[in-house]
Amino acid sequence: MLNSTTEGKAKLLFLGCVAKSHKSGDNLPGCEFKALGDISASVKVKPLIHNTQRFVLFEPLVGSEIANISFKPNLGCMLPLNNPLTGAVVAKVLGGNLDAVVQAIEFSEVEQLLIGDVLKWGALSQRAYLNATVDLEATGGVKLGMH
């Protein structure tokens, strides 16, 4: 079980990702991911407690890069074709069962700004945010309940 003094390792797989404009929320034209919208990242997992709310912090396993985001060339994408994703990201734990193997977690821009852990995108280190609710599942007999 993860608690406030332990950390784990995880492989995150973000499926069906799309590049969106931060201002309008619209999909950016021509920005198709090389890996069919899937992004894989190997990370350290650390539990956090902030004002009695449980969070999970995801940091790079080695160095400062979590993943590299690559787009297909020659489609008119206004973003650079290769973009390092650095920094850390935090998600709020939604479930209350401390013995759960699967926990619902929520990534939101508000939570990431509140805790102060944000991702940096590309060579200019622009802030990037995840907005999603997902199930985080432990393997190898580990339980995700954090206390």
**Among residues of the chain, what percentage have pLDDT more than 90?**
6
Tens of pLDDT, residue by residue over 46-85, are 888 888 888 888 899 888 888 888 889 999 998 888 888 8
Collapsing DSSP to helix, strand or coil, 124 comes out as coil
**What pLDDT is attached to residue 46?**
85
User: Distance between the two ends of the chain, CA-based, in angstroms?
Assistant: 9
Q: Which of 133, 126, 123 is nearest to 21 (CA)?
A: 126
Q: Rounded to whole angstroms, how far apart are CA atoms 128 and 51?
A: 25
Alpha-carbon distances of 26 from 10, 20, 29, rounded to whole Å: 30, 5, 9
CB 8 within 8 A of CB 137: no
Distance CA 61, CA 64 (A): 8
The pTM (predicted TM-score) of the whole model is 0.76
The 3-class secondary structure across 11-65, one letter per residue, is: EEEECCCCCECCCCCCECCCCCECCCCCEEEEEEEEEEEECCEEEEEEEECCCCE
Instruction: Give the model's confidence band at 113: pLDDT under 50 very low, under 70 low, under 90 confident, else very high.
Output: confident
